[in-house]
Structure 1
């Protein structure tokens, strides 16, 4: 133990309230939180790749130990005091981030424990759950395949309903989580969990609502026009009237992606391809090494494993991993590129940054991920990486632009559903959430609810349970990705096979980590503040 380290801890033992030096405070917090974060992340990873009771227990224990440390009132007050006393600008930023991380945990220990335990239980059930079709358990990939390929409306309905059965299993507990999160937020002086979450993520609620309203205005008319044409094609395919179309006719269980009839069906081009190799080749061409990430990852489906996808930075020191359930189609290629877009960000921090600053903001990391994910439908990527014939790529060019616009339209309308639903959930958890859900789906996605259905379909979306108040960052990320794409095209000629684009991303977006606020980072990387204008230009091609 160094003399400086011993001195810091001697002062801390005497009372952290007298510790005024911002650098010492940040170091003290870092030394305390770093090993607990590592243990929590490893346990969280283990519980997702193998959803056993033992792994769930270990995860809950590790997360509670970390939460206990974040709940340290003396340390929190000392950091708050140092920031309030005008800490030097170079040291103020770590203090701001530490306060944001610690604030939600300044609640009763019993409430914290109940939240951690219930979140762990719910996510474990999501990982274990499989829908049932014709008496057989099926995974999400099989459900989506039926919804893309089957011509039988009855089979499609059964598959769609199977995708929602996890909602029945967890709905009561998700509602209880909303109650407990609100109790926590209100004990800290916030309106509800939605408001607290935005505060700790450095998001302004008024600006968020303005941005969502602008996105609604920019997409409402082109989406309605696009969907009207789509519905005619779907009605022809399924030999029914447009008024008879229901959610199971739209390929994705939540209609968050356009069906083949409303885009370009590229799946035949990916059949038999090595999706992971395509992703590796993509990043190598831009100057990013991802082999280490892939070697530590868990990429293919199996029972008892989380069926979704995520990227996690285990230690803020190079141990970055991806969980996925890859099969050979365009969607999973998009997902692999997306998750590795998170991963290269996590590996791109300036080496001189302290541990506290070696993290991403949700908006900017989603921008990176969405920027790369969209390449799976990009003409240049299809030619260079998938090695599609140039003539065939030329024939697809205009349709690919329209498909990209449709993708953004569908996704934006879906984000509007999710954001509005979560605001309603935390505003009044006791309301008729089933009814609220379908009212929003009808309003923003123009879907006709199933006749007489009253089921907790909202609870089948895992983000509502275990990644609350997150979905707006996808929309912000999509907007920023559009802006960054424009900047890269102007400065480097594009992204695919352009190491200069990789250098720009590393220097302007990744290297600063969390050393500057996300909105200033966006302006630095994109050359302009966040604006819906870039999104509006892209969706105009639909």
Structure 2
């Protein structure tokens, strides 16, 4: 593919001579504008085609669909490997001459995108092929237990409902067998990613991912240390509550509790230890209709997203959930595998939080800026809405309970949410620290590393004598690398936004039980201050403009720790 820089060279030179440009700023800005125009002409149609192919592969699970997705991903990524294009962007950037704010931001975004792809095309093709093949293995894997093939939903149902330790162990171990299927491939992929990162001058892929995401690795590690200290004692108290409840429920001693007893494959979600059974409020509900009705009430129409989405289980389909903006022009879709339960209610509200963010980004922004300010800012929106599923004010507003039931369950639902938050916070510590250490040294004993971290941060016991690649059963490590810390940053921002909206839009000092239902002012605030700006500002600048202060852990601590 001929580089954009070469295509433009003659035209730019002629235009500059004709214009008689002597001003350096004008010259550089003209070069950048011309580059962006040609870049958009190449990328816009190809991105749409590639993302559509990825979507189709997620739905079908067919080899030919994954092959097409791989081919188009490689073609799209290859645009950013051009040495000539990167040299032009680097020249413009280092000149410091671009003064126009929007142009300067586009330059930052494009420079980063090209920098991360200044690698040998053979390495790029190898990385994409490996990523696609690994994702295909995850998508097609089904746990086999006692001769039955179980989906992830089936495994989760057993872990949540069974009182038989043998059955729980069998389901948990059946799911973990995916680790042996993919572990060697994932380690090879980690080493390849490190090779790529080091060829670009970074310490390793983990450090590169943070730095190219406008995050300082040292600052993120300090934040995680701070959150560890902040949550450790509170979680230890909750963990003792969990163990006491589960031991009694399962008729075993607390010392006999094993990872398969915690009602989740990874103990990343809180076990149901309080008297309120969240699932019962959703078992006969239309999760899709509840989601649509809620967003409509705050002035955020998701009917078009729903029409484009695929929300129910089918053979071969990706078993997880995600939201994708196909074209940065309004074709936003959500993939789910809905069941009428609390977890999927949370997930639907979460994924359509991503969806409304993508949908309401200002379409008049340049193509490269029609994205969230940062990956964790879209997570924050998803999380603030996902939390509603456990909020009794939201449940009453949605007609799921009456005022009497709300008063009855209010304290327990808050305790559920608090337990969820602190449980997830400790799980995120494991993920962040595991990936950081794995990319620093992929040849270490990763099985031991995983369990050492789980024991330290989640306070769960490693099964005696177990030496399996259980870490590799977590799909995100392979397919969404070095991302998990953004979930926790998202939770911090979700609490910060909740505080701001409650105090300034709703006009209340009740920061626990706000649903925002019917508050079109809330939807308008989020649209104007968070969604519409897209990526035109650095993420912390956007947060400061929206809330009056930069990202802080203070409101998260006030909401869930103190």
**TM-score above 0.5:** yes
Aligned mates of 2:93, 2:301 — CA distance in 1: 38
Shift of 1:12: 7.2
**Could you report, residue by residue, the CA deviation over 1:6-28 in whole angstroms, capped at 9, with x for unpaired residues?**
995753799xx999622222222
- DSSP-derived class of the 1:21 partner: helix
The secondary structure found in structure 1 opposite 2:159 is helix
Residue 357 (structure 2) aligns with = 345
> Which of the residues 535, 541, 553 maps onto 1:514?
535
1:91 maps to 2:103 = yes
1:186 Cα shift?
Answer: 0.3
The answer to whether residue 499 in structure 2 is matched with residue 489 in structure 1 is no
Cα pair distance change 1:199/1:20, threshold 3 Å: farther
Deviation (angstroms), 1:356: 0.8
Q: 1:50 aligns with which of 60, 64, 86?
A: 60
Q: CA, structure 1 residues 202+108, in 2 after alignment: closer, same or farther (shift >3 Å)?
A: same
Residues 102 and 536, structure 2, Cα contact 8 Å, conserved in 1 = no
- Which deviates more from structure 2 when the two are superposed, residues 73-82 or residues 497-506? 73-82
Q: Is the 8 A contact 1:299 1:326 kept in 2?
A: yes
Provide the residue aligned with 1:534 in structure 2: 555
Q: 2 CA distance for matches of 1:13 and 1:40? A: 34
Judging changes above 3 Å, is the alpha-carbon distance between structure 1 residues 445 and 13 closer, same or farther for their aligned structure 2 residues?
A: farther
Post-superposition shift, 1:386?
4.0
Relative distance call for 1:118 and 1:148 in structure 2 (3 A) is same
For 2:279, the equivalent position in structure 1 comes to: 267
**Does 117-126 or 344-353 show the bigger shift?**
344-353
Tell whether 2:352 aligns with 1:331.
no
Equivalent-residue separation in structure 2 for 1:265 and 1:218 (angstroms): 29
Checking the alignment, whether the CA contact within 8 Å between 1:350 and 1:513 is kept in structure 2 is: yes
Alignment pair present for 1:34 and 2:51: no
Does the 8 Å CA contact 1:222/1:539 hold for their aligned counterparts? no
Q: Determine which of 135, 143, 148 is the counterpart of 1:136.
A: 148
- Cα distance in 2 between the residues matched to 1:75 and 1:20: 15
The 5 Å alignment of 1:148-163 reads 148-163=160-175
Give the corresponding residue for 2:70: 60
Cα distance between partner residues in 2 of 1:445 and 1:386: 36
Maintained 8 Å contact 1:263/1:406: no
The 5-angstrom pairing of residues 162-173 of structure 1 reads 162-173=174-185
User: How big is the shift at 1:106?
Assistant: 0.5
* Kept in 2: contact 1:480–1:526 (CA 8 A): no
Following superposition, which runs of at least 4 residues in structure 1 exceed 3 angstroms of deviation? Answer: 6-14, 17-20
**Post-superposition offset of 1:90:** 2.9
Residues of 2 paired with 1:77 and 1:262: CA distance?
59
CA distance in 1, matches of 2:197, 2:319: 31
3-state SS of 1:137 partner: strand
8 A Cα contact 2:447 2:470, kept in partner:
yes
1:168-219 superposed Cα distances (whole Å, 9 cap, x missing partner): 1111111111000000000000000011101111111121111111111111
Name the count of aligned residue pairs: 535
Root-mean-square deviation (CA, aligned residues, Å) is 1.8
Aligned-pair CA distance for 1:326: 0.4
CA offset at residue 526 of structure 1?
2.6
Q: Could you tell me whether the CA contact under 8 Å between 1:119 and 1:465 is conserved in 2?
A: yes
Superposed displacement of residue 303, structure 1? 1.5
**Conservation of the 8 A alpha-carbon contact between 1:147 and 1:251:** yes
Match 1:185 to one of 181, 185, 197: 197
1:207 and 2:228 aligned: no
CA deviation after TM superposition for structure 1 residue 112, in Å: 0.5
1: CA distance between counterparts of 2:445 and 2:476?
19
In structure 1, what is the equivalent of residue 24 of structure 2?
A: none
Point out where structure 1 has 5 or more consecutive residues left out of the alignment. 1-5
User: Is the 1:434–1:457 contact (alpha carbons within 8 Å) kept by the matching residues of 2?
Assistant: yes
Q: Work out the CA distance in 2 between the residues paired with 1:428 and 1:446.
A: 24
**How far 1:340 sits from its partner (Å)?**
0.2
Aligned to 2:383: 370
Q: CA deviation at 1:105?
A: 1.1
Q: Is the 8 A contact 1:263 1:403 kept in 2?
A: no
Give the drift of 1:442. 0.3
Q: Give distance in 1, aligned partners of 2:9 and 2:445.
A: 52
- 8 Å contact 2:145–2:170 — kept in the other structure? yes
Instruction: For 1:109-120, list aligned pairs within 5 A.
Output: 109-120=121-132
Cα distance in 2, alignment partners of residues 338 and 391 from structure 1: 27
Q: How does 1:388-403 map to 2 (within 5 A)?
A: 388-403=401-416
| Matched position secondary structure for 1:213 | helix
Distance 2:146 2:445 in 1: 31
Instruction: Tell me, yes or no, if the aligned pair for 2:311 and 2:338 is still in contact at 8 Å.
Output: yes
- Taking structure 1 as reference, are residues 521 and 198 closer, same or farther at Cα in structure 2, changes over 3 Å only? same
**Residue aligning to 2:478:** 465
Secondary structure of the structure 2 residue equivalent to 1:481 = helix
- Corresponding residue for residue 31 of structure 2: 21
- Secondary structure class of the residue paired with 2:333: strand
Identify the residue that residue 3 of structure 1 maps to in structure 2.
none
CA distance in 1, matches of 2:399, 2:147: 38
Structure 2, unmatched stretches of 5+, are 1-5, 15-26, 507-513
Q: Counterparts in 2 of 1:308-323, with a 5 A limit?
A: 308-323=320-335
